[in-house]
Amino acid sequence: MSRPDDSGKIRLIQGNEACAEGAVAAGCRFYAGYPITPSSEIAEVLAYRLPAVDGTFIQMEDEIASLGAVIGASLAGAKAMTATSGPGFSLMQEHIGFACMAEVPCVIVNVMRGGPSTGLPTSPAQGDVQQARWGTHGDHPIIALSPWSVLECATLTVEAFNLSEKYRTPVILLMDEIVGHMRENVILPRPDELEVYNRVRPKVPPEWYEPYEDTPFGVPPMAAFGEGYRYHVTGLFHDLHGFPTLREDEIEPLLNRMFRKIWTNLGEIQKVETFALEDAETAVIAYGSAARAAKRAVLEARAAGRKVGLLRLVTIWPFCRRAVESILGRCRKLIVAEMNLGQISREVKRVVQGRAEVATVSRVLGRLIRPDEILSVIEKG
Amino acid sequence: MKPGHHLIYQYLRHEKKFPHVWCPGCGNGVVLGSLIRTIHKLQYSKDEIVLVSGIGCAGRMTAYVDFNTLHTTHGRALAFATGIKLVKPHLKVIVVMGDGDATAIGGNHLIHAARRNVNLTAIIINNHIYGMTGGQFSPTTPYGLRASTAPHGHVEHAFNISKLVEAAGGSFVARGTVYHVNLLDRLMEKAIPKTGFAVVEIMSTCPTHFNKLNLLGTAVDSLTWMKEHAAPVEKAKEMKPEELRGKFRIGVLIDQDIPDYQAEYHQVRERAKAAGAYRLDPQEISRILESNQCY
């Protein structure tokens, strides 16, 4: 079991453990969850680690209650998270919507396994990508990140907390069974090497505080319960003070601000990684563990003299439209490799609009896509 | 002006919240009045009270009062409240729910909050029906009566909320009514400062749906019915079973001092900080198994 003083040393750990370590390093002090494979190790590590840093681990009666408790903890001022997999992620959708609407920072880790329903316990898939975007009802923006390595499970967990605190929004970490259970040698960053962002607290006296103020940045400062700022939090459409409203001059501005705070900061939120793309005529687009197979396929294609590169999506939502557009000029063919039946390739096609050929390696096999399965599509043209 | 009126100005929010959504004859206002009087009497500051509610008529209570207030999703108020309480134990977290909220969609959260003995006060307003959605039957609608979703008569049996919570665990269970207001104040006074999970079930009225569908007259008729059918626990002890038939007990049903979740979790933190795994004493294991309450 990991120790707090282990950062900075080489350790052989799995992605789920790294995610838990990242959470502690990011300042997470509350975890509520319900056991589900392949995410349970995150809960197990945090059950061990959080009480030692005066944090709280609680195993709730289901995933709905888990995210409810996480939101309550965040409203009380703590950084809080939960982790689950497909079936539990379905149950959490209700409270993901609440966290969007009430603008409560929190991190939801989904270590994806095959679905629908109980699906494949517990073989890998990336089938929850569109659910992460549209799973909860109503229009809402969402941020989702996807790590491809054990180290990134830690660093993107920190990033997920930073984005959630900065934009007062739930952030979803879309891991998959492979990165969750894979073990790699990593050197976890020391706490002083990490950039950790904490939510902005109100500086005005309580009588001036508007908890849902329309600030230029779009994100109102957030007071914690019990600090003198007595305000109302609800999942109903609300006015600047948080009180329920049915007025059209308050409904639309609220929704617009919820989108604006994310959409005007895409430059900071959206992250991609490129590999051998400079002169590439064909680009493979992939994310999570499938990107590892894609990178191998690119290396083998390069060895055979083909001009192929990799665009790895680190941010899944909001979709990295600009990154795809930037390679459209020189890449005539885009190959989207993912462990679902085309959940990101449809986004790519929407951006490409016929300006390049979009091929897919969309497989749900209960295992990782093999490099040769991607390579054969590269070689087709 | 009577002192009660002053409390309204002190504790209700002034801007844009009124008129409230409750119908004439609804018991929710009586419960809110009792809650405010009790908080005032116990001298809690408004900053240290967190009022959490679910969805339904009772759920709207949070918007009206000048505390830290959280209007959550249907049935899940106790889950949110658990998170708040564990992060800020010094806050007094009070949860208001209706019967459908607490025992149908939130039934699982209710029994587990009780089993964990989280230090929360749960106020369950039981009017035996879903009011806000239009008179559908709830888990406490009596067998044989009518609801908008039981036009041919209700064929399910009702939960006894107090017994349900009593069986699940917790430190304190009481039952009151919106007729016995002085008793209600006294029950709130005991429940709110109580360490551990404390439930006050309050028999209430819904003249708009429950009475109308079931030919029960006005809210006054409901209050009269409560007056005639409630048996204070102290008296109930001395009553014969035939005298008690058709009556329900009101007063403190359970009041016990058992460690609450925070006290237990404090031990977990101490063990975690001491490092090294939690070691079971082999001689203790059989004692623990024998004292397990699950069999």
Q: Using one digit for the tens of pLDDT, what is the confidence trace for B57-75? A: 999 999 999 999 999 999 9
For B269, the closest of A51, A61, A227 (CB atoms) is: A51
What pLDDT shows up at residue A6?
Answer: 66
Over range B210-224, report the average pLDDT: 96
Is the CB of B62 inside 8 Å of chain A's CB atoms? yes
Check if A66 contacts B (Cβ < 8 Å): yes
C-alpha separations of B279 from A19, A66, B96, B282 in Å: 27, 28, 40, 9
How much of chain B exceeds pLDDT 70, in percent? 97
- The verdict on a CB contact (< 8 Å) between B112 and A60 is yes
Report residue B11: phi and psi, to 5°: -110, -20
Rounded to a whole number, what is the distance in Å from the CA of B75 to chain A's nearest CA? 10
Residues of chain A found within 8 Å of residue B78, distances taken between Cβ atoms = 65
- A129's tokens: 């990508």
Chain A residues lying within 8 Å of B110, measured CB to CB = none
Average pLDDT over residues B208-212: 96
Give the mutation candidate from A24, A231, A234, A237 for the B interface (greatest B CB count, under 10 A).
A234
DSSP character string of chain B: --HHHHHHHHHB--SS--S-SPPTT-SHHHHHHHHHHHHHHTT--GGGEEEEE-SSTGGGHHHHBSSEEEE-STT-HHHHHHHHHHH-TTSEEEEEEEHHIIIIITHHHHHHHHHHT-S-EEEEEE-SEETTTTSEE-TTSPTT--BTTBTT---SPPP-HHHHHHHH--SEEEEEESS-HHHHHHHHHHHTT-SS-EEEEEE---IIIIIHHTT---HHHHHHHHHHHEEEHHHHHHS-HHHHTT-EEEEEEEE-----HHHHHHHHHHHHHT-SPPPPPHHHHHHHHHH-TT-
Chain B residues closer than 8 Å to A29 by CB: 87
Q: Is A197 on the interface with B (CB under 8 A)?
A: no
How far, in Å, CA of A299 to CA of A293, rounded?
10
Average pLDDT, chain B: 94
B90 at the A interface (CB within 8 A)? yes
Contacts of B273 in chain A (CB under 8 A): 51-52
Of B13, B82, B268, the CB nearest to A69: B82
Test B67 with A241 for CB contact under 8 angstroms. no
A174 neighbors A110 (Cβ within 8 angstroms): yes
Short-list B197, B222, B196, CA closest to B209:
B222
> A250: which 2 tokens?
């308050």
Q: What is the dihedral of CA B98, B104, B105, B110, to 10 degrees?
A: 70
Per the CB < 8 A criterion, the answer to whether B174 and B199 are in contact is yes
Contact yes or no for A298/A291 (Cβ under 8 A): no
Q: In what order do the strands lie in the sheet with A308-313?
A: A272-275, A308-313, A282-286, A333-338, A357-362
Q: Between the CA atoms of A145, A148, A153 and A159, what dihedral angle is there, to the nearest 10 degrees?
A: -40
Q: How far is B69 from chain A (nearest CA, A)?
A: 5
Residues of A in contact with B274 (CB under 8 A): none
Cβ–Cβ below 8 Å for B63 and A80: no
CA distance B122 to B81: 10
**Token pair for A14:** 């799995």
**Between B70, B72, B86, which is nearest A56 by CB?**
B86
Chain A residues touching residue B168 (CB < 8 angstroms)? none
**B82 contacts in chain A (CB < 8 Å):** 32, 58, 60, 65, 68-69, 72
- Residue B269's pLDDT is 96
Q: Is A359 on the interface with B (CB under 8 A)?
A: no
Domain limits, chain B:
3-264
- Measured over the CA atoms of residue B263, residue B269, residue B272 and residue B274, the dihedral's sign is negative
Q: Do A233 and B71 touch (CB under 8 A)?
A: yes
Q: Which ipTM did the prediction report?
A: 0.96
Residue-wise pLDDT tens for chain A (381 aa)? 445 556 678 999 999 999 999 999 999 999 999 999 999 999 999 999 999 999 999 999 999 999 999 999 999 999 999 999 999 999 999 999 999 999 999 999 999 999 999 999 989 999 999 999 999 999 999 999 999 999 999 999 999 999 999 999 999 999 999 999 999 999 999 888 899 999 999 999 999 999 999 999 999 999 999 999 999 999 999 999 999 999 999 999 999 999 999 999 999 999 999 999 999 999 999 999 999 999 999 999 999 999 999 999 999 999 999 999 999 989 999 999 999 999 999 999 999 999 999 999 999 999 999 999 999 999 986
What CA–CA distance (Å, rounded) separates B84 from B106?
A: 18
B268 → chain A, closest CA residue:
A51
Q: Considering the domain B3-264, what is its CATH architecture?
A: 3-Layer(aba) Sandwich (3.40)
At B281, the amino acid letter reads D
Please compute Rg for chain B using Cα positions.
20
What does the pLDDT read at residue B282?
Answer: 85
Q: How far apart are CA A47 and CA A55, in angstroms?
A: 10
pTM of the prediction? 0.97
| Residue B1: predicted pLDDT | 47
Domains of chain A are: 4-193 (3.40.50.970), 271-379 (3.40.50.920)
Q: Is A232 helix (H, G, I), strand (E, B) or coil?
A: strand
Please name the residue of chain A whose CA is at the shortest distance from the CA of residue B273: A52
Cα(B117)–Cα(B264) distance, integer angstroms: 10
Helix/strand/coil (H/E/C) assignment for every residue in A110-167? EEEEECCCCCEEEEECCCCHHHHHHCCCCCCCCEEECCCCHHHHHHHHHHHHHHHHHH
Return all residues near B262 (Cβ < 8 A) that are at least 6 apart.
Answer: B85, B86, B89, B118, B119
